[in-house]
């Protein structure tokens, strides 16, 4: 077999892998990435980019007949899903080439080796018909949809988010199993395009892990759009019924059947680690099957690091990229950098958007902190009123004694954008007074962050615009 040697070899070619490869190259290393599938990983191919493209398309289609401006009268135009999918595919191909393939092609220190990789030893990989040698490795093979072993799951037709972005015919009805961010984003997207949506969530509310008040707010908003959401409804089994699928769930402990033309399974993610030989090189996994790493992204094997979704939550493109950079710098420059997960903003791209950063009040109190929280209704925000986007809230959590901002959780138009002000405030240990004294552009949705800070001192309903 042909042998090739590198300073660093990365298993995978997604955002974590590319971030690591670019950083290692900048530090003077000769780097290779291995890939058996599509270059670019989940985000650009079947995740962030295609989902946000189609979510926007659905929003524009829906708004034609659901405008809040009474002076505008319009009707839905014709929906051509196949054309939307082709347009999405062109965008994905463009960004895959621009942000991934061309980047590697134009970097003399970066190579991509096609084929499935398997460790032969702590310094060797078998990739197709090649032996690839390196003193250090990074595992960044990503994740895929988790398929729970429901009764009958092996006998029915189902889709995950990956297949959902390839549908060229709009299903009349869809049952979505799971109540996380993928479920809500795709549920609202397909609903707005014309599909009857039913969401089954086993827990007491959607968006497990988010602030409960925020989760219930978006749940109510989606229900107001006529999306059927059933909580406390674990699925018991599925069965093919001709061209449709029947899902049996225990809804508040009462058995009930739901029929849908499609079922979409959105029950979390599992790591892509099968067949790469982790057990042969001493790389350990946690109870959920994700690769164990320390704060420097090092695994339990001396020569191997890991980054991205394969290491478990929080699973997000910018998190994986940062982990990849940390791993590369520690390997090539021996810097012993540590990954900091304390200030990571996250968002759900529903309409309105959900966003969160820092601690919830419950999480802070569990840490023994004395905190207080205030919740701002968007009715008080001038920009929200001006554009008829008042559904939602901003909840701020602060330390009682210092007034430092510990967490911000919101449901708002452009929430994924405005959450970064809160993230910077937490990172820089700002107080409510710091936010109040910062002059904001008027009117903007970002003012909601400032007004939430004001609530700890005053009744904002009694303040004129921009007043302190």
Strand order in the sheet with 8-11: 110-114, 31-35, 8-11, 137-139, 304-306
Phi/psi for 386 (5° steps) reads -65, -30
Task: Give me the CATH number covering residue 76.
Answer: 3.50.50.60
| 139 vs 320: CA distance, rounded Å | 11
Residue 77: is its pLDDT beyond 90?
no
Look at residue 1 in the predicted model and tell me its pLDDT: 78
Do residue 104 and residue 22 come from a single domain? yes
CB atoms within 10 A of CB 180: 20
Supply the pTM of this predicted model: 0.96
Beta strands in 231-364 (DSSP E): 235-241, 244-251, 254-260, 262-265, 269-271, 304-306, 346-348, 353-358
Domain boundary pick from 267, 294, 323: 267
Do residue 28 and residue 136 come from a single domain? yes
Do residue 292 and residue 255 come from a single domain? no
Report in angstroms the alpha-carbon separations of 106 from 14, 40, 41. Answer: 17, 16, 19
Residue ranges making up the domain that contains 130: 2-144+270-332
Domain boundary pick from 267, 287, 321: 267
Domain count, the chain: 3
- In the numeric block, which tokens belong to residue 39? 């270059």
Domain boundary pick from 310, 332, 354: 332
pLDDT (tens digit, 9 = 90+) per residue, 84-132?
999 999 999 999 999 999 999 999 999 999 999 999 999 999 999 999 9
Do residue 9 and residue 82 come from a single domain? yes
Q: Which of helix, strand or coil describes residue 401?
A: coil
Look at residue 350 in the predicted model and tell me its pLDDT: 98
- In the numeric block, which tokens belong to residue 385? 């009123």
Do residue 10 and residue 117 come from a single domain? yes
Q: Is residue 338 part of a domain?
A: no
pLDDT (tens digit, 9 = 90+) per residue, 197-224?
999 999 999 999 999 999 999 999 999 9
Do 51 and 188 form a contact (C-beta atoms < 8 A)? no
| 391 vs 384: CA distance, rounded Å | 8
CA proximity to 143, closest of 310, 4, 282, 7: 310
CA proximity to 283, closest of 294, 292, 296: 292
Q: Is residue 136 part of a domain?
A: yes
Look at residue 272 in the predicted model and tell me its pLDDT: 98
CB atoms within 10 A of CB 466: 12
């Amino acid at each position: 077999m042909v042998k090739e040697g590198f300073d660093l070899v990365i298993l995978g070619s997604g955002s974590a892998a590319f971030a690591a490869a670019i950083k290692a190259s900048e530090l003077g290393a000769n780097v290779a990435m291995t890939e058996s599938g599509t270059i670019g990983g989940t985000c650009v191919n079947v995740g962030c980019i295609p989902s946000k493209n189609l979510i926007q398309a659905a929003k524009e289609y829906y708004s034609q007949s659901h405008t809040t401006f009474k002076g505008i009268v319009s009707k839905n135009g014709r929906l051509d899903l196949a054309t939307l999918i082709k347009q999405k595919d062109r965008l994905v191909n463009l960004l895959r080439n621009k942000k991934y393939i061309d980047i590697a092609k134009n970097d003399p220190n970066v190579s991509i080796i096609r084929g499935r990789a398997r460790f032969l030893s702590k310094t060797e990989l078998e990739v197709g018909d090649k032996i690839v040698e390196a003193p250090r490795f990074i595992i960044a093979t990503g994740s895929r949809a988790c398929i729970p072993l429901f009764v009958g799951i092996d006998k029915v037709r189902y889709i995950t988010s990956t297949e959902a972005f390839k549908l060229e015919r709009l299903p009349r009805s869809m049952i979505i199993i799971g109540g996380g961010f993928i479920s809500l984003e795709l549920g609202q997207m397909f609903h707005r395009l014309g599909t009857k949506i039913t969401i089954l969530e086993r827990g007491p509310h959607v968006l497990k892990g988010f602030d409960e008040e925020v989760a219930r707010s978006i749940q109510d908003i989606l229900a107001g759009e006529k999306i059927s959401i059933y909580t406390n409804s674990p699925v018991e089994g599925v069965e093919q019924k001709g061209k449709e699928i029947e899902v049996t769930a225990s809804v508040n402990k009462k058995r009930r059947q739901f029929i849908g033309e499609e079922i979409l399974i959105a029950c979390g993610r599992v790591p892509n680690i099968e067949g790469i030989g982790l057990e042969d090189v001493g790389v350990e996994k946690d109870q959920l099957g994700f690769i164990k790493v320390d704060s420097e992204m090092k695994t339990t094997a001396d020569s191997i690091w890991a980054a991205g979704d394969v290491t478990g939550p929080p699973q997000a493109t910018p998190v994986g990229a940062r982990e990849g950079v940390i791993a590369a710098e520690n390997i090539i420059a021996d810097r012993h950098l540590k990954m900091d997960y304390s200030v990571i903003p996250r968002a759900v791209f529903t309409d309105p958007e959900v966003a969160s950063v820092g601690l919830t009040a419950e999480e802070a109190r569990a840490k023994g902190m004395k905190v207080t929280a205030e919740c701002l209704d968007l009715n008080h925000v001038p920009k929200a009123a001006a554009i008829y986007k008042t559904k939602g809230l901003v909840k701020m959590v602060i330390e009682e004694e210092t007034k430092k901002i510990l967490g911000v959780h919101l449901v708002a138009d452009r929430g994924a954008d405005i959450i970064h002000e809160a993230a910077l405030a937490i990172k820089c240990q700002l107080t409510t007074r710091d936010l109040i004294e910062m002059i904001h552009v008027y009117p903007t949705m970002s003012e909601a962050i400032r007004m939430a800070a004001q609530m700890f001192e005053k009744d904002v309903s009694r303040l004129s615009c921009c007043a302190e």
